[in-house]
């Protein structure tokens, strides 16, 4: 699906059209996406997220089970693997993302699924959901799921971009604003401090 077509669906969605044609049209963009690449861990934006995650997990056992939701092709998960973590599942809605990710990083376990529908039959010690909640229709429901999938003492790390307003002109993939206040309801909000800050971040305890 072209970006223009996605924009049309997202414009309709942001104007209040929640017809099944629009909702499915937006999901189809991810399901049929074919232009997929492997991000470098040292890409500045990715690396800042990775550094924050790494520091938050510094004292966690390398035997911890990790679920990375909206993992893209897995460079953050692979970075954690290189830090010693071995049990990592990457969940992404896009089949091509999972295909490229599992070919590039065969030691990661890729699962194709939509966080809004997927149900886990196990709990995880660590759950990551970085830069994904703004892509879905109901981020609060996803956060509720995430919290329920944490083991006792588990930790979820969530980041979302700070946006003043939604517009398909800014990024047609962003359909939802998640605020600092909403994140605060789910955990201890850790606003990453930096002058060029672009994210809200939150950690949720299981």
Ligand X SMILES: C[S@@+](CC[C@H](N)C(=O)[O-])C[C@H]1O[C@@H](n2cnc3c(N)ncnc32)[C@H](O)[C@@H]1O
Interacting span for ligand X (CB under 6 A) from 63-71, 81-89, 101-109, 190-198: 63-71
Q: Which of 26, 57, 64, 71 binds ligand X (CB under 6 A)?
A: 71
CB 67 within 8 A of CB 149: yes
Nearer to ligand X, 68 or 125 (CB): 68
* Contact of 170 with 163, CB cutoff 8 Å: yes
Q: Three-state SS string across 20-63, please?
A: HHHHHHHHHHHHCCCCCCCCCCCCHHHHHHHHHHHHHCCCCCCC
Q: Are strands 65-69 and 124-130 parallel, antiparallel or unpaired?
A: parallel
The one among 9, 13, 29, 30 contacting ligand X by CB under 6 A: 30
Residue located via tokens 């209040």? 16
Asked if residue 49 binds ligand X (CB under 6 A), the reply is yes
Minimum distance between the CB of residue 185 and ligand X, rounded to whole angstroms?
21
Residue with the shortest CB distance to ligand X: 70
Size of the site for ligand X (CB under 6 A): 21
The token duo for 96 is: 């091509």
- The answer to whether residue 105 forms part of the interface with ligand X (CB under 6 A) is no
34, 37, 5: which is closest to 22 by C-alpha? Answer: 5
Q: Which stretch binds ligand X (CB under 6 A): 12-20, 126-134, 179-187, 195-203?
A: 126-134
93 binds ligand X (CB under 6 A): yes
Among 72, 85, 149, 199, binds ligand X (CB under 6 A): 72
Euclidean distance between CA atoms 144 and 198, whole angstroms: 24
Whole-number minimum distance, CB 116 to ligand X, in Å? 5
Q: Which stretch binds ligand X (CB under 6 A): 17-25, 64-72, 175-183, 191-199?
A: 64-72
User: Taking CB under 6 A as the rule, does residue 199 contact ligand X?
Assistant: no
Q: Please state the separation of Cα 148 from the chain's center in Å.
A: 17
* DSSP-derived secondary structure letter, 11: H
Per-residue DSSP letter, 74? S
Instruction: List residues binding ligand X (CB under 6 A).
Output: 30, 46, 49, 69-72, 76, 91-94, 97, 114-116, 130-132, 135-136
């Amino acid at each position: 699906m072209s970006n223009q077509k996605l924009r049309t669906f997202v414009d309709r969605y942001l104007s209040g059209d929640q017809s099944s044609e629009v909702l499915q049209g937006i999901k189809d963009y991810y399901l049929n996406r074919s232009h997929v690449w492997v991000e470098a861990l040292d890409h500045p934006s990715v690396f800042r997220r990775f550094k924050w995650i790494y520091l938050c997990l510094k004292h966690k056992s390398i035997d911890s089970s990790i679920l990375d939701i909206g993992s893209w092709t897995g460079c953050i998960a692979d970075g954690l693997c290189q830090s010693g973590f071995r049990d990592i599942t990457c969940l992404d809605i896009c089949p091509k993302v999972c295909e490229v990710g599992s070919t590039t990083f065969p030691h990661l376990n890729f699962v194709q699924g939509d966080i809004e529908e997927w149900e886990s039959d196990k709990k995880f010690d660590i759950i990551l959901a970085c830069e994904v909640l703004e892509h879905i229709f109901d981020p609060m429901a996803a956060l509720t799921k995430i919290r329920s999938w944490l083991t006792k003492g588990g930790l979820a790390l969530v980041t979302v971009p700070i946006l003043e307003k939604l517009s398909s002109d800014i990024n047609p993939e962003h359909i939802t604003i998640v605020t600092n206040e909403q994140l605060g309801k789910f955990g201890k909000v850790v606003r990453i401090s930096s002058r060029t800050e672009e994210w809200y971040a939150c950690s949720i305890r299981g």
